[in-house]
Amino acid sequence: MFRPQTYYLIASLIVTLILPFVLPLWKDAAGKPFYFMSDIVYVTILGLINTLTFLTIFSHKKRQQQFVMGRLNMIFNLILLGLFVYRTLTASGETAISEKGVGMFLPIISIVFLVLANKAIKKDEDLVKSVDRLR
């Protein structure tokens, strides 16, 4: 019914749209979980990522544009991951971050799904080009 890249993009959308509400990024020294909603920068970047993923799903007629949006989405996920790492490394000792949560690794999971989606898009594009050669 759907092409494989659609399933990968939907999985990436689930990882970045639903799981950040469930999985905390880390716990502070008091043991209180820190979610992405506590920082406007994280909310903004996740909003960009989700919007871009949603647009990528519905631009299935334009494979080249879909491929480029997938790459751009990977860059935004890397920026988000970099911000998470920067925040944990610049925290002074045990005062800010006591325990890292699974939520910090959601951009990595999203990137994996985006890479798989881009491979499927590339495969579709190659198939269309090979059929055009035969005409």
pLDDT value for 135: 60
What pTM does this model have? 0.87
Inside any domain, residue 134: no
Each residue's pLDDT tens digit, 56-77: 999 988 889 999 999 999 999 9
Query: Comparing C-alpha atoms, which of 102, 82, 120 is closest to residue 4?
Result: 120
Look at the chain and report how many structural domains it folds into. 1
Structural domain range at position 21: 4-126
Query: Comparing C-alpha atoms, which of 65, 52, 75, 42 is closest to residue 121?
Result: 65
Rounded Cα distance, 70 and 64, in Å:
10
pLDDT value for 134: 65
Inside any domain, residue 60: yes
* Interval 2-17 mean pLDDT: 93
Inside any domain, residue 133: no
Each residue's pLDDT tens digit, 82-104: 998 888 777 655 556 667 778 88
* Interval 29-43 mean pLDDT: 84
CB 124 within 8 A of CB 3: yes
Inside any domain, residue 131: no
Each residue's pLDDT tens digit, 96-135: 666 777 888 999 999 999 999 999 999 988 888 888 776 6
